């Protein structure tokens, strides 16, 4: 039966603490979308094991990430939130998609090339990461995927997988079975790291954590790179080239952003004063998120209940998709439990 409400799916890796790049590029959007779309959000732990990791730390990271999502405003009564490895159909569909995906396409993925360069030994899992991502999305036949800009290339691969599978197993006169999922970007689709050089990224160590204590946030913000032309306090600056200015746009209202731009251009404020105003703006957003996370940590049963219900709801959809997919491909149906 055709769905009346469009469905979004998005995932996030428990590879480190959620940072403000993840928040501004993706999670903030999820919070807004959950009331307009049927929303499915996943902590993608199978993705996090494609690079070296410590199995003793993973459960706590996974849980802490789930807490961060709920604290940021994902409402488990409205959206489905779950952990990927609790729904085995993700890897089952990924295997199927592996069989129709040319290796060359995977080797061309920018994120694979970047991450592979940083490792001594590269696993097949790292290469196949975007195939698992395609399975994550298509398992729920999601129409829309709210992500940061870095994920757009992967999403193009998901679209290609959907097209290829449909052509082979749901060819006309059948309706295409899988929709071609479209990315949904935010105005802050690419948040730069505090080094001002590269994307804010857990693995680059240039992040501000969503739940970091205020004193740690300030300790990171204080030395963060600004407009390199502002060497002395009296040098006028160019806000557009300054990463701090872009963060103001994400955390402060337009009138404050205008004031920041004027004070920068006229050297009215030094960079430290400017960062103080940013810090205050950030605190208005991050303070309540931090407080909510503390409440959730104190009530583990609430988090367990949300994740269990989420996994059960996700699994119902996933099993239905796998039944259809396997039937169309001539594979055996799952044995009854």
331: left (phi over 0), alpha (psi -120 to 50) or beta: beta
- Please select the residue that binds ligand AQP; options are 9, 69, 140, 148, rule is CB under 6 A: 148
CB within 8 A of 329, min separation 6: which ones?
96, 169
CB of 15 to ligand AQP, least distance (A): 4
- Please select the residue that binds ligand AQP; options are 164, 190, 220, 326, rule is CB under 6 A: 190
CB of 309 to ligand AQP, least distance (A): 23
3 state DSSP class of 192: strand
Q: Which of 113, 115, 275, 326 is catalytic?
A: 115
Query: Count of residues binding ligand AQP (CB under 6 A)?
Result: 19
Give the whole-angstrom CA distance, residue 42 versus residue 69: 10
- Please select the residue that binds ligand AQP; options are 91, 110, 197, 203, rule is CB under 6 A: 203
**According to the binding rule CB under 6 A, does residue 206 interact with ligand AQP?**
no
**According to the binding rule CB under 6 A, does residue 194 interact with ligand AQP?**
no
CB of 72 to ligand AQP, least distance (A): 12
CB of 123 to ligand AQP, least distance (A): 15
- Please select the residue that binds ligand AQP; options are 69, 106, 126, 147, rule is CB under 6 A: 147
User: Is 115 noted as a catalytic residue in this protein?
Assistant: yes
What phi and psi values does residue 88 have, to the nearest 5 degrees?
A: -65, -15
**Alpha carbon 1 to its chain's center:** 30
**According to the binding rule CB under 6 A, does residue 181 interact with ligand AQP?**
no
**According to the binding rule CB under 6 A, does residue 150 interact with ligand AQP?**
yes
**According to the binding rule CB under 6 A, does residue 156 interact with ligand AQP?**
no
Give the whole-angstrom CA distance, residue 118 versus residue 91: 25
Dihedral (CA of 147, 323, 38, 296) sign: negative
- Please select the residue that binds ligand AQP; options are 199, 315, 326, 328, rule is CB under 6 A: 199
Q: Which of 202, 220, 275, 326 is catalytic?
A: 202
Decide whether 49 or 314 has the Cβ nearer to ligand AQP.
49
Other CB atoms closer than 10 Å to residue 98's CB: what's the count? 18
Helices (H), the chain: 20-22, 28-33, 45-48, 58-72, 89-98, 103-107, 110-117, 124-138, 152-169, 214-221, 243-251, 254-265, 271-297, 300-329
The Cα-based distances of 232 to 10, 226, 249, 269 in angstroms read 44, 12, 24, 11
**According to the binding rule CB under 6 A, does residue 62 interact with ligand AQP?**
no
**According to the binding rule CB under 6 A, does residue 26 interact with ligand AQP?**
yes
Give the whole-angstrom CA distance, residue 325 versus residue 98: 14
**According to the binding rule CB under 6 A, does residue 21 interact with ligand AQP?**
yes
> Of all residues in this chain, which one has the CB nearest to ligand AQP in the complex?
25
Report cis status (omega within 30 of 0) of the bond before 227: no
User: Is 199 noted as a catalytic residue in this protein?
Assistant: yes
**According to the binding rule CB under 6 A, does residue 5 interact with ligand AQP?**
no
Give the whole-angstrom CA distance, residue 22 versus residue 172: 39
**According to the binding rule CB under 6 A, does residue 13 interact with ligand AQP?**
yes
Catalytic residues: 115, 199, 202
- Using CB under 6 A as the criterion, which residues of the chain lie in contact with ligand AQP when the complex forms? 12-13, 15, 21-22, 25-26, 147-148, 150-151, 189-191, 199-203
């Amino acid at each position: 039966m055709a769905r009346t409400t469009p469905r979004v799916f998005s995932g996030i890796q428990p590879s480190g603490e959620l940072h403000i790049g993840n928040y501004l590029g993706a999670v903030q959007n999820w919070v807004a979308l959950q009331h307009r779309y049927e929303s499915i959000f996943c902590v993608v732990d199978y993705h996090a094991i494609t690079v070296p990791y410590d199995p003793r730390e993973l459960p706590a990271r996974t849980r802490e990430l789930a807490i961060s999502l709920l604290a940021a405003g994902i409402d488990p009564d409205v959206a489905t939130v779950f952990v990927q490895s609790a729904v085995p159909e993700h890897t089952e569909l990924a295997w199927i998609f592996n069989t129709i995906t040319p290796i060359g396409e995977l080797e061309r993925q920018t994120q694979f090339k970047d991450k592979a360069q940083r490792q001594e030994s590269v696993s097949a899992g790292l290469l196949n990461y975007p195939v698992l991502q395609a399975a994550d999305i298509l398992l729920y036949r999601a129409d829309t995927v709210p992500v940061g800009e870095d994920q757009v290339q992967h999403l193009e691969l998901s679209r290609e997988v959907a097209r290829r599978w449909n052509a082979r197993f749901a060819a006309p006169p059948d309706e295409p079975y899988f929709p071609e999922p479209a990315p949904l970007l935010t105005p802050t689709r690419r948040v730069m790291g505090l080094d001002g050089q590269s994307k804010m990224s857990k693995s680059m160590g240039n992040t501000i954590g969503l739940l970091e204590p205020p004193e740690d946030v300030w300790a990171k913000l204080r030395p963060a790179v600004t407009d390199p032309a502002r060497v002395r306090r009296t040098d006028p600056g160019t806000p557009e080239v300054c990463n701090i200015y872009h963060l103001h746009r994400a955390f402060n209202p337009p009138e404050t952003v205008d004031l920041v731009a004027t004070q920068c251009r006229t050297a009215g404020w030094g960079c430290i004063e400017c960062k103080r105003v940013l810090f205050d703006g950030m605190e208005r957003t991050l303070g309540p998120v931090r407080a909510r996370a503390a409440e959730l940590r104190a009530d583990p049963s609430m988090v367990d209940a949300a994740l269990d219900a989420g996994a059960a709801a996700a699994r119902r959809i996933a099993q239905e998709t796998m039944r259809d997919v396997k039937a169309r491909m001539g594979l055996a149906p799952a044995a009854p439990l």
